[in-house]
């Protein structure tokens, strides 16, 4: 009888052993073994439907997010424009307020009459003795 050590020393035996191993590995990797999904098919289908509905909901939410980002950009543009207008109005108001300090009596009357639509003839001279 041939000992195992003698067989391992024989190159032909090693080649046959390697070929058999490669054949088994190839058969396992490339065989078309179908797994029996029968008992789990209903659960698989239910999970697939749930995944599909979640994908659809996710798409709808993503569209809403995109729309809201577009709206936010529009609002930001509007805010910037309004801030610019506010700055301009503040500057003009300050210029008018600062120019009032240099007005003469007649210029002040004209300023307030234009501003409050008062006629200079309706403005009465007050001497501090009111009817109150």
At residue 129, the pLDDT reads: 53
pLDDT of residue 125: 56
pLDDT of residue 102: 83
**How many whole angstroms separate alpha carbon 125 and alpha carbon 105?**
13
CA–CA–CA angle 55, 59, 63 (5° rounding): 170
* pLDDT the model gives residue 122: 56
- Please state the domain extents for the chain: 65-118
Residues 62-80: tens digit of each pLDDT: 999 999 999 999 999 999 9
Structure tokens at 31: 């065989």
For 56-95, the DSSP string reads HHHHHHHHHHHHHHHHHHHHHHHHHHHHHHHHHHHHHHHH
Question: What pLDDT score does 86 carry?
Answer: 95
Give the pLDDT score at 132.
Answer: 45
Q: What is the pLDDT of residue 32?
A: 67
Please tell me the predicted confidence (pLDDT) of residue 119.
52
Report pLDDT for 110: 83
Burial letters for 22-43: b for 16+ Cβ neighbours within 10 Å, e otherwise? eeeeeeeeeeeeeeeeeeeeee
Residue ranges of the chain whose pLDDT lies below 70: 1-2, 4, 7-8, 32-36, 118-132
């Amino acid at each position: 009888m041939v000992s195992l050590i003698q067989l391992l020393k024989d190159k032909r035996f090693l080649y046959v052993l390697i070929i058999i191993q490669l054949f088994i590995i190839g058969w396992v990797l490339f065989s078309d073994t179908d797994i029996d999904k029968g008992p789990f098919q209903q659960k698989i289908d239910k999970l697939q439907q749930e995944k599909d509905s979640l994908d659809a909901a996710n798409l709808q939410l993503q569209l809403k997010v995109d729309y809201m980002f577009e709206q936010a950009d529009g609002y930001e543009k509007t805010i910037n424009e309004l801030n610019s207008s506010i700055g301009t109005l503040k500057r003009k108001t300050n210029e008018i307020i600062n120019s009032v300090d240099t007005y003469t009596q007649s210029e002040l009357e004209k300023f307030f009459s234009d501003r409050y639509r008062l006629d200079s003839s309706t403005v009465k001279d007050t001497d501090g003795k009111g009817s109150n």
